[in-house]
Homo-oligomer: A and B are copies of this chain.
Amino acid sequence: MNAPEALDERCMMLALAEARRAASMGEVPIGAVVMAPDGSIIGRGHNLTETLHDVTAHAEMQAITAATATLGSKYLDGCTLYVTVEPCVMCAGGIGWSHLARIVAGAPDPKGGYSTFTSRSPFHPRAIYTSGVLADECRALMQDFFRRRRKK
């Protein structure tokens, strides 16, 4: 594995840790982190829609808001977002507004992911989208959560 791939996996593991925090709270287990160009993590977030009674409280929105608070700037130029599941259309729009340079997703989401709804990229025109990093781990966390919920 080359260095960029190893970095992507390390950051996705941090996003997975956020997803597990969501699961432990009974939330759909999706997590996200934002990495600055110097490699530091400047924002973290996990799904909080149930806890906050707020459908806008997705992991990516929390991580973007946290990162902009860290920087004191509303733009995240040069930064990378790692998220365990393909963003929905709301989060993809937020990612676009934030000017994130790179988006790295874990598992694709053919049902609810942004790409099912869009005919044109909602990301910044120069942004790069990568999918499938630690996809099996990200997907397993979701499948396990929904399997447990159905059994209740």
A residues engaging B (CB < 8 A)? 49-50, 52-56, 61, 64-65, 68-69, 71-75, 88-94, 96-98, 114, 116-122
Task: Beyond the given A56-B61, A90-B91, A93-B93, please list 13 additional residue pairs across the A-B interface where CB-CB is below 8 A.
Answer: A53-B68, A53-B69, A53-B72, A55-B97, A56-B64, A89-B90, A89-B122, A90-B90, A90-B97, A93-B114, A93-B117, A117-B118, A118-B119
Q: Bound state CA distance, A57 and B97, in angstroms? A: 11
A65 and B74 form a contact (CB under 8 A): no
Shortest Cβ distance from A97 into B: residue:
B55
Complex partner residue of A92 from B69, B89, B121, CB under 8 angstroms = B89
Shortest Cβ distance from A50 into B: residue:
B74
CB distance from A148 to the nearest CB of B (A): 21
